[in-house]
């Protein structure tokens, strides 16, 4: 995300500032306070009525995209009104003050216990975990725990002669690049090859050595929605340990899939049923069905989370461990997560996630039937699918499609895959709760309407203007 260093735009003229306000903002007196609008890049000298301030901000935000039509993001864009009320009631509660807000802390603890049970921890009552601001923070915490455990086992070599490394597929979310950068860990990336768009278990095992702190498995990949083969990855590392004695733990980045697979793919073994899986994270604000931002990080048992990383807070005579990069943050999202767990239960989550998968699969099939596109995935794992133009299509490319869809209000990202498939550019469609079959049909209708014009082009527009990727994790 770019760092904001101020704006280069000049302030509006005095006349423009006078005309920036609607006279009706003056409520009872339509001429009150209409001398000029407040400045945009410095604090105003005087206060504004709350209704006026609200309308100024509200009107500017109308230029944002419609979040419900954003098929780039995995983040939840719709919740029930009751959840919104609960979140508003808890917006002023600081999640870190567990002795001041013991019931909020208790709801966090219950969510951790529910997830530990959902992910088949050997003893859910002993699994440790915490809420975070999202999966990125959760991944940072999980990676830090892996590094500390490795450092403890190699105290005679680290940091003098040993540099830790982390093995993962090149398709990992950018937070893992940040982790390696921030905590001085060497990233070892398994590239894509052919029609394999995520990690190869044996290739990952081959990259491991005595300095490997862990291997990351993704459930599922943000590039195409596919699940990585976590069980096969653990089996390859089991074989590595038998040959070499190296015991390399696995962390499962289940930002999206950890809230899909337990309900729709119950026979898929990817979680704490695999002894090598030390920790799992997920995003409550993705397929956990909560507004941003909340994530969760869980460890198989206290042994996987070094005690020196845990800060303990006493509340109501009890011991509440905390482990976080952030300090103050609202408790609203944690409360909303607990509400959603209570509201839906296993059957409710199964119904919601199945509906999203059905919409994704149906839309993917209908797009394939148009004849201009080739599907890479079909939305039958995450409710997400990726597609590219068919080999015979030469008049336009995926960047043209993305650009034209945006003119109609849809945000569908087009981007190029990483090594070794930089030759492949795709569109990705994320189907979330709230993206109904009716909305999918409207998207398909817009796509049908634009195809004749795209087919009539002489060549892809990206040849003239360059192809700017718009990849959203």
Dist CA 197 CA 353 (whole Å): 23
Dist CA 225 CA 288 (whole Å): 16
Please choose, from the candidates 197, 201, 228, the residue with its C-alpha nearest in 3D space to the C-alpha of residue 375.
Answer: 197
What are the CA-CA distances from residue 428 to residues 85, 225, 251, 319, 386 (Å)?
33, 9, 25, 45, 4
* Sequence ranges of the domains in the chain: 14-61, 82-341, 356-465
Dist CA 387 CA 443 (whole Å): 15
CATH of domain 356-465: 3.90.1150.160
Contacts of 111 (CB under 8 A, 6+ apart): 131, 296, 334, 337, 338, 341
Contact call for residues 413 and 428 (beta carbons, < 8 A): yes
pTM: 0.90
The structure tokens listed for 32 are 């009150």
User: From first to last of its 473 residues, what are the pLDDT tens digits of the chain?
Assistant: 445 555 556 677 777 766 666 666 655 555 555 566 788 899 988 888 888 888 889 999 999 989 999 999 999 999 999 999 999 999 998 887 777 888 998 999 999 999 999 999 999 988 899 999 999 999 999 999 999 999 999 999 999 999 999 999 999 999 999 999 999 999 999 999 999 999 999 999 999 999 999 999 999 999 999 999 999 999 999 999 999 999 999 999 999 999 999 999 999 999 999 999 999 999 999 999 999 999 999 999 999 999 889 877 665 555 666 788 887 888 999 999 999 999 999 999 999 999 999 999 999 999 999 999 999 999 999 999 999 999 999 999 999 999 999 999 999 999 999 988 999 999 999 999 999 999 999 999 999 999 999 999 999 987 655 554 444 44
**H or E element in which residue 177 lies:** helix 174-182
Please choose, from the candidates 300, 351, 342, 345, the residue with its C-alpha nearest in 3D space to the C-alpha of residue 145.
Answer: 300
Q: How many residues does the chain have?
A: 473
R_g of the chain, CA atoms, integer Å: 25
- In CATH terms, the fold of domain 82-341 is 3.40.640
**H or E element in which residue 277 lies:** strand 277-283
Helix (H, G, I), strand (E, B) or coil at 39: coil
Helix (H, G, I), strand (E, B) or coil at 245: coil
Contact call for residues 280 and 132 (beta carbons, < 8 A): no
Dist CA 166 CA 163 (whole Å): 10
Dist CA 15 CA 28 (whole Å): 23
Contact call for residues 329 and 285 (beta carbons, < 8 A): no
């Amino acid at each position: 995300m770019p760092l904001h260093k101020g704006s280069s735009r000049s302030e509006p003229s005095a006349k423009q500032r006078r005309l920036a306000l609607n006279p009706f903002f003056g409520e009872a007196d339509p001429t009150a306070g209409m001398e000029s609008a407040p400045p945009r890049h410095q604090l105003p000298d005087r206060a504004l009525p709350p209704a006026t301030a609200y309308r100024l901000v509200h009107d500017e935000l109308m230029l944002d995209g419609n979040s419900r039509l954003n098929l780039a993001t995995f983040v939840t864009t719709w919740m029930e009104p009751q959840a919104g009320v609960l979140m508003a009631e808890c917006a002023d509660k600081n999640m870190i003050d567990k002795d001041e807000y013991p019931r909020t802390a208790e709801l966090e603890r219950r969510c951790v216990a529910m997830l530990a049970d959902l992910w088949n921890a050997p003893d859910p009552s002993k699994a440790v975990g915490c809420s975070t601001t999202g999966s990125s923070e959760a991944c940072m915490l999980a990676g830090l725990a892996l590094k500390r455990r490795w450092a403890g086992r190699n105290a005679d070599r680290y940091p003098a002669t040993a540099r830790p490394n982390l093995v993962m597929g090149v398709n990992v979310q950018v937070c893992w690049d940040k982790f390696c950068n921030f905590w001085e860990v060497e990233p070892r990336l398994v590239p894509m090859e052919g029609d394999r768009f995520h990690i190869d278990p044996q290739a990952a095992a081959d990259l491991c050595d005595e300095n490997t702190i862990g291997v990351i498995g993704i459930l599922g990949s943000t590039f195409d929605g596919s699940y990585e083969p976590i069980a096969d990855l653990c089996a390859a590392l089991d074989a590595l340990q038998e040959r070499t004695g190296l015991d390399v733990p696995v962390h499962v980045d289940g930002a999206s899939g950890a809230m899909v697979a337990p309900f729709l793919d119950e026979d898929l073994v990817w979680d704490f049923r695999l002894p090598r899986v030390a920790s799992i994270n997920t995003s409550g604000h993705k397929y956990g069905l909560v507004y941003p931002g909340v994530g969760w990080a869980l460890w198989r048992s206290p042994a996987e989370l070094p005690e020196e990383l845990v800060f303990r807070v006493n509340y109501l005579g009890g011991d509440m461990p905390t482990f976080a990069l952030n300090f103050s943050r609202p408790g609203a999202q944690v409360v909303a997560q607990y509400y959603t767990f209570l509201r839906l239960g296993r059957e409710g989550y199964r119904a919601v996630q199945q509906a999203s998968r059905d919409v994704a699969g149906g839309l993917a099939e209908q797009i394939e039937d148009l004849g201009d596109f080739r599907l890479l995935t079909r939305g039958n794992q995450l409710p997400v699918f990726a597609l590219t133009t068919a080999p015979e299509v030469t008049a336009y490319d995926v960047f043209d499609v993305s650009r034209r869809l945006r003119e109609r209000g849809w945000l569908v990202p087009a981007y190029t895959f990483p090594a070794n498939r930089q030759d492949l550019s795709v569109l990705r469609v994320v189907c979330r709760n709230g993206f109904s079959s009716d909305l999918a049909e409207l998207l398909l209708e817009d796509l049908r309407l634009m195809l004749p014009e795209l087919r009539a082009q002489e060549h892809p527009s990206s040849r003239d203007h360059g192809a700017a990727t718009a990849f959203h994790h």
